[in-house]
Amino acid sequence: MTQQLDSPVREPFGRRFFGSPHVDATLIAALVVIAVVALWIAVPGLFSSYDPLVGIPGDAFVPPGAEHWFGTDRIGRDLYSRVVHGTRLTIYGAFVAVVIGLIVGSILGLIAALARGAIESAIMRVVDVLLAVPGFLLALIVVTALGPGTVQIAFGVGIAAIAPFARLIRSEALRVTELQYVHAARISGTRAPAVLFRHVLPNSIGPVLALVAVELGSTVLSIAALGFLGYGAPPPTPEWGTLIAEGRSFLANAWWLTTLPGVVVVVAVLAFARISHWIQALYRI
């Protein structure tokens, strides 16, 4: 009797989550933060009744309190409302950037792993060049060439995200293709596309998900930094980076204008990083 070789069977996600020893208060807090950010994007009106673009001049520079949780800015606009409504542009840019990096990087990594030889060498030399240039500097160069705006920032940051995904996908594809059940599938006559989509990609998903989570946090930080430098959405459109930049001239008498949006950015980035660490532990990466 021959033993049938197939890809490893994983437990259902729910059982892996609730039964995992890696689920703790920090992970729950990170998931709550991401859920709140998602709600800010989907239904910002539920979280603030103030108009993010219109202020009351008489309420300028009101410090944080019960009426204005994050205080008000120089023309009396509610800062908390502007942070909530600015979430959509910032996270949208981060999502687009990660999608660009994931799709292009995955294609390049798979081609390099499957083609081998000169094609692999050429692709990986390009990836090495991209890795040699700091991601933020590369994004800044692209955005400078294309002009300011959320879409331009997302494209620039996405270009910088291609190299990490390409290298990871290539290494995972090389690792999985050497496993016993993949060799058995090839010997049994399974076509290469079927081997790729049935065995290679599903068993590389763990490291990819972990990188997606950490890249989301990294791209949020990069987009906020580029917005701070003036490459984000033009005023008065709220965006996390531009909100931080708007308050830097008033640090002496209105510290909350820069500090509180900055805290939101840091908390969001840390939440993505914690989820990435949990995914790594879950898949024993």
Mean pLDDT over residues 197-208, rounded? 78
DSSP state of 198: I
3-state secondary structure 153-174: HHHHHHHHHHHHHHHHHHHHHH
Distance CA 74, CA 78 (A): 10
Task: Judge whether 183 and 6 are in contact, CB under 8 Å.
Answer: no
pLDDT at 168: 93
Mean pLDDT of the chain: 87
Where are any strands of DSSP class E within 168-278? none
Residue 80 has a pLDDT of 97
Domains belonging to the chain, first-starting first, are 24-48+73-282 (1.10.3720.10)
Query: Could you read off the pLDDT of 100-152 as tens digits, one per residue?
Result: 999 999 999 988 888 878 998 999 999 999 898 888 898 899 898 988 888 89
Confidence of residue 76 (pLDDT cuts 50, 70, 90): very high
Q: Estimate the crossing angle of helix 25-42 against helix 79-115, to 10 degrees.
A: 110
What are the residues whose beta carbons fall under 8 Å from the beta carbon of 253, sequence distance 6 or more? 61
Residue 58 CA to residue 44 CA, distance in Å, equals 25
**pLDDT of 211 strictly over 70:** yes
pLDDT tens string 6-35: 444 455 555 555 556 667 899 999 999 999
The percentage of residues in the chain with a pLDDT greater than 70, rounded to a whole number, is 87
For residue 72, what are the β-bridge partners? 78
